[in-house]
Amino acid sequence: MIIFIVMLKLKYAFTAWIYDILDYPWERLYRQWRTQILADVHGKVLEAGVGTGRNLPYYADDVELLGIDLSPTMLMFAKRRARQAACQVELRQEDASQMPTVASATYDWVLSTFMCCVMPDYLQQQTIAQFQRVLKPGGKFKLLEMVYSQDPTLRRRQARIAPLVELIYGARFDRHTLERLQQADNLEVSRTEFLKDDVYLLIEGKRRD
C-alpha cells in the first residue's frame, strides 16, 4: 500500500502541471454535469480527491467545504481555483484511504469525482470505510466513476486507451466501486445513473442512521 501511495503521489507531481490541459476535451462535457451533481449539496461537505478544484466554483454559498487530495501539487492549483468559489473552502493534503486529521461523524456530504477508479480494491475498501466514518448518520454521498461499457464497440475503444489512462491518471475502467459501496456495512446506495453512455456512472447514497 505504501509503495502504491508513494508512486501515485509522484505521478501526480508531474501530471498536475498538465492535468487541466489533458482534461480540456472532456471538461466541456464535465462542466455540464457539475451544476447538476452539486445542486442539492449543502452544509458541511468533504470532497475527496479535490484535484485541481474543478468543482469548487459550483458549490452553493452555504457549503462549508473541506477538499482533500494526496497530491500537494494538485492542491496548489486547487487553491487558485478556490478564489472563484462562493462557499467557504479549506484545502488539505490528506490520503483519502486514511484521513487521520478528519473528524468522525462530521459531514453532511461526501463527494468524489473520478477518484475511486484510481484505487485498487484494497484501497477502495479502506477509502469507503473512511467515507462511512466521517459522514454523519443520515449523511449522503455522491461518487462519479468511469467503468467499462457493455457495448462491444465502445468497450474496444476504451480498451485501446486504457493503458494511456492508467499511465497518466492511474485510473482504470475495471474498478468495483459500486460493489464495494453496496458491501459497506453502514452505507446504502439509493440511486445510480449513467450520465453518458454506460461509462460515466453517478452513484448516490447515504450513511444509515
Bridge partners (DSSP) of residue 67 are 47, 91
pLDDT tens by residue, 47-66: 999 999 999 999 999 999 99
Q: What is the percent of the chain with per-residue pLDDT over 90, rounded to a whole number?
A: 85
pLDDT at position 28, please? 87
Domain ranges (residues) in the chain: 2-207
pLDDT at position 25, please? 87
Q: Spell out the SS3 assignment of 87-139.
A: CEEEEEECCCCCCCCCCCCCEEEEEEECCHHHCCHHHHHHHHHHHHHHEEEEE
- Arch. (CATH architecture) of 2-207: 3-Layer(aba) Sandwich (3.40)
Length of the chain: 209
Is the per-residue pLDDT at 165 higher than 90? yes
Return the minimum-mean-pLDDT range out of 18-27, 86-95, 183-192: 18-27
Are 33 and 144 within 8 A, CB to CB?
A: yes
Q: What is the percent of the chain with per-residue pLDDT over 70, rounded to a whole number?
A: 100
Biggest CA–CA distance in the chain, Å, is: 45
pLDDT tens by residue, 118-158: 998 889 999 999 999 999 999 999 999 999 999 999 999 99
Are 124 and 177 within 8 A, CB to CB?
A: yes
Helix axes 2-15, 19-38, angle to 10 degrees: 100
pLDDT tens by residue, 7-24: 888 888 889 999 999 888
pLDDT at position 209, please? 83
Residue appearing with cell numbers 450513511: 207
